């Protein structure tokens, strides 16, 4: 019995000694050095769901439907190899450098490429990166278009506007910003010729409310929306 007790005591003592550096590290309150990636799937051509791979690992084997977006995927900060695939579309790849505490928003879409030499007409994946920048005062709407048209017309309706819409336009692959003021107001975003909103927000936190416009397989303008506490610019 005494031998068993001594063996147990040695193991406990060794375990405590090994845990001391970890405890000291935890007491220092050092935060893990991580950033976040969000994917917006705006890839209309092809079949099946889109898949996101980060450093060779499929983040969600079931894949993402057209118009879906991920939440913030937490990753160790540093260089990341990104690949997005969908059957019938040539895969898209890019490399990003993810900063500590940064959220990198990625928009995947497809472009139709003409016949070139021995290459037939085809759809190729593109990945657009939306970079964050320091928070500014108030509320802002940012609209990005990956539609095929060079310019997409849209309108906004804000609480207190007495039902009168305000006209805007978004140039392809560029962000358009709409300042929403210092006070939160309900907001709806419409395709210019439609009375059905593409996105509706009830802002309760200062920051950036993002709408990504894209074409569905029939060519109808659709939207994906999300909130980002920082403002974003196309990069």
Domains annotated for the chain, with CATH where assigned, are 31-132 (2.60.40), 136-228 (2.60.40)
pLDDT grade, residue 24 (50/70/90)?
very low
| DSSP 3-state of 185 | coil
131-145, 168-182, 217-231: the lowest-pLDDT one: 131-145
Q: Regarding beta strands 103-113 and 122-133, do their DSSP bridges make them parallel or antiparallel, or are they unpaired?
A: antiparallel
22-36, 144-158, 176-190: the lowest-pLDDT one: 22-36
pLDDT digits (tens, 9 = 90+) for 220-235: 999 999 998 765 655 5
CA-CA distance, 235 to 128, in Å (whole number)? Answer: 7
Tally Cβ neighbours within 10 Å of residue 188.
17
Q: Would you say residue 21 has pLDDT above 70?
A: no
State the pLDDT at residue 173: 95
CA-CA distance, 121 to 113, in Å (whole number)? Answer: 6
Tally Cβ neighbours within 10 Å of residue 64.
21
Q: For the chain, give me the number of helices (H) and strands (E)?
A: 1, 17
CA dist 93 to 15, 24, 37, 194, Å? 45, 41, 15, 35
pLDDT grade, residue 29 (50/70/90)?
low
């Amino acid at each position: 019995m005494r031998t068993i007790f001594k063996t147990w005591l040695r193991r406990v003592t060794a375990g405590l000694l090994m845990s001391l550096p970890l405890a000291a590290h935890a007491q220092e309150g050092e935060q893990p050095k991580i950033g976040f990636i969000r994917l917006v799937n705006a890839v209309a051509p092809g079949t099946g769901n889109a898949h996101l791979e980060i450093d060779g690992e499929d983040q969600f084997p079931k894949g993402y439907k057209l118009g879906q977006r991920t939440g913030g995927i937490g990753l160790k900060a540093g260089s990341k190899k990104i690949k997005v695939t969908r059957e019938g579309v040539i895969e898209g790849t890019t490399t990003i450098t993810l900063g500590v505490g940064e959220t990198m928003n990625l928009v995947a879409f497809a472009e139709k490429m003409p016949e070139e030499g021995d290459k037939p007409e085809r759809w190729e994946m593109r990945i657009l990166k939306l970079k964050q920048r320091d928070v500014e005062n108030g509320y802002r709407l940012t609209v990005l278009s990956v539609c095929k048209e060079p310019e997409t017309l849209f309108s906004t309706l804000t609480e207190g506007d007495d039902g009168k819409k305000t006209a805007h336009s978004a140039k392809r692959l560029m962000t358009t910003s709409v300042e929403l003021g210092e006070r939160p107001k309900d907001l709806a975003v419409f395709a210019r010729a439609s009375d059905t909103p593409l996105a509706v927000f009830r802002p309760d936190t200062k920051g950036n409310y993002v709408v990504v416009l894209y074409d569905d397989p029939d060519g109808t303008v659709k939207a994906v929306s999300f909130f980002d506490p920082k403002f974003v610019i196309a990069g």
